Amino acid sequence: MGREIAPQELSYFYQKTGEAIWHLQFVEDYLIKLYLVGSVHLNINGITRQNAESKCKQFAKKTLGQLIGLLDGSEIVSDEFVDKLKAYNDIRKWVVHNSMRETENCLYSQEDRDYFISRTTKFTDMSVEIQKGIEARMWEITIDGGISPEKVMAHANATVEQWKKAT
C-alpha cells in the first residue's frame, strides 16, 4: 500500500544517511592510520615514521576499495578482516551510489522505506564493528611495538585538551 512519506520520516531518512556517511569517513580514516602504523611497525611498504605524515595525505585521496587493496595480503590484518572490509565496501557502494535509484519508491512505499532504513542501519552497525576491529588491531600493534597504553592515552588526552582550548 502506498502513501507519501511524512516530513518527519524524510528527516529520519536524511539523518540515517548522514550518520552512515559519517561513520564511513571514520572507517576510512582509521584504515589509513592502521595501514601506516602497521607498515611502520612491521617495517614494510617503504613507510617510515619520517614519511608517514606525507603518506597519510596521499592515502586520504584513496577510495575505500583502494585502502582495502593496500591491506589485502599484508601482515597488518587477517584475511578474515579483509573479507569483512570487502563485504562492507559492497554495502557502501549501495549506500553512496545506488540507494536512491534502487529505492526511489521509498517516498511512496513502506516496503522500500523499511528496506532502505534496514540496509542503511546495517551499514552503520558494520561501520562501528569495523572501527572496533581496527582499534583492537591498533592496540595490538602499539603494545607489540613497546608503547604502553597509558602513554598513548596521555598523548590522546593532551590532544583533546588542545582542541578544546582552540575553540
> Contact at 8 Å (CB) between 123 and 20?
yes
Paired strand residues for 2: 109
Task: Look up residue 22 and give its amino acid.
Answer: W
Domain membership flag for residue 59: yes
Domain membership flag for residue 113: yes
Domain membership flag for residue 148: yes
Looking at residue 154, what is its pLDDT? 86
- CA-angle at 23, arms to 19 and 25, nearest 5°: 120
Q: What is the end-to-end Cα distance of the chain in Å, rounded?
A: 50
- Predicted confidence (pLDDT) per residue in 64-106, tens digit: 999 999 999 999 999 999 999 999 999 999 888 877 776 666 6
- DSSP letters, 91-113, are HHHIIIIIHHHHTGGGGTBHHHH
Domain membership flag for residue 1: no
Looking at residue 29, what is its pLDDT? 94
Q: What range defines the domain where residue 131 resides?
A: 7-166
Task: Look up residue 105 and give its amino acid.
Answer: N
Q: pTM of the prediction?
A: 0.84
Domain membership flag for residue 61: yes
- Total number of domains constituting the chain: 1
Domain membership flag for residue 2: no
Question: Can you tell me which residue has the cell 590484518?
Answer: 77
Interacting residues of 61 by C-beta distance below 8 A, sequence separation 6+? none
Q: Is 76 helix (H, G, I), strand (E, B) or coil?
A: coil
Domain membership flag for residue 82: yes
